[in-house]
């Protein structure tokens, strides 16, 4: 099957990054005065992409950090999460 627009053949689709990855670290306290509390830190990376199908508008890669704090009592958990904690500007 052929593409409708031959100029797009062999090009990277728009808004599709070449690399996407993420990782999280989470620690929960089980003893002492912080029993029930937990903290987490996450990192997200998105590689460069193109904003159009003709590969004219290159969108740079970006790296973001996220964080969580939670408190657990029995079967209940209260959690606050913050995304992009460094307030990085990205597209």
DSSP string, 43-59: EEEE--EESSTTS-SEE
Q: What pLDDT sits at residue 75?
A: 96
Q: Is the pTM of this model over 0.95?
A: no
Q: Determine the pLDDT at residue 52.
A: 87
Spatial contact of 24 and 40, defined as CB atoms under 8 Å apart: yes
Distance between CA atoms of 55 and 57, rounded to whole angstroms? 6
Residue 33 backbone phi and psi in degrees, to 5: -65, -20
pLDDT (0 to 100) of residue 14: 87
Q: Provide the pLDDT for residue 9.
A: 77
Q: Which residues in the chain come in under a pLDDT of 50?
A: none
Predicted confidence at residue 3, as pLDDT, reads 63
């Amino acid at each position: 099957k052929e593409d409708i627009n031959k100029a797009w053949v062999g090009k990277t689709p728009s808004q599709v990054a070449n690399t996407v990855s993420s990782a999280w670290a989470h620690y929960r306290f089980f003893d002492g005065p912080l029993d029930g509390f937990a903290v987490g830190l996450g990192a997200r990376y998105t590689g460069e992409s193109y904003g159009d199908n003709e590969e004219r508008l290159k969108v740079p890669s970006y790296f973001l950090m996220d964080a969580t704090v939670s408190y657990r009592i029995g079967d209940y958990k209260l959690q606050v999460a913050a995304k992009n904690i460094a307030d990085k500007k990205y597209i």
